[in-house]
Amino acid sequence: MSPGPRHNPKKEKHRKNFDLKIGQKICKVRFVGNDEISSPASKKNDLIDTENPTIFVYRCQTKRNLVNTLLHEVLHVVRPELSEEAVTETADILERALNRLGYKID
């Protein structure tokens, strides 16, 4: 997958990990490179560890894809009963709504 036109590889290393309170849990969000995760899902942009609430997001994405991925993975944590299709659709809608509100994520 080639990066979008506004992709800046220099910023990839500067994405800061953070913790996010979701319900009664503190979920860790970690930005990782392709070489930092080994998984059968290596073709995906994201992985989530459900036993230890840690969301791993590949840092090598455009800002828009990164925001969508993060929304998608947070939805999995908040609403684990939702299907993959429902999570994807909801993340897409939320990302577009944020963009329309003026949060420039392109």
The string of pLDDT tens digits covering residues 21-80 is 988 888 999 999 877 766 544 445 555 656 667 888 888 888 889 999 999 999 998 898
Other CB atoms within 10 Å distance of the CB of residue 16: 6
With respect to residue 8, please indicate whether it lies within any of the assigned structural domains. no
Phi/psi at 18 (nearest 5 deg)? -155, 165
With respect to residue 105, please indicate whether it lies within any of the assigned structural domains. no
- Cα–Cα distance between 5 and 94 in angstroms, integer? 23
Domain that holds residue 74: 13-100
Q: What is the pTM of this model?
A: 0.74
Query: In total, how many domains does the chain have?
Result: 1
- Cα–Cα distance between 44 and 37 in angstroms, integer? 11
The string of pLDDT tens digits covering residues 70-80 is: 999 999 988 98
With respect to residue 90, please indicate whether it lies within any of the assigned structural domains. yes
With respect to residue 60, please indicate whether it lies within any of the assigned structural domains. yes
With respect to residue 51, please indicate whether it lies within any of the assigned structural domains. yes
> Which of 38, 39, 32 is closest to 55 using CA atoms?
32
- Biggest CA pair distance of the chain: 39
- Interhelix angle 84-100/63-78, nearest 10 degrees: 130
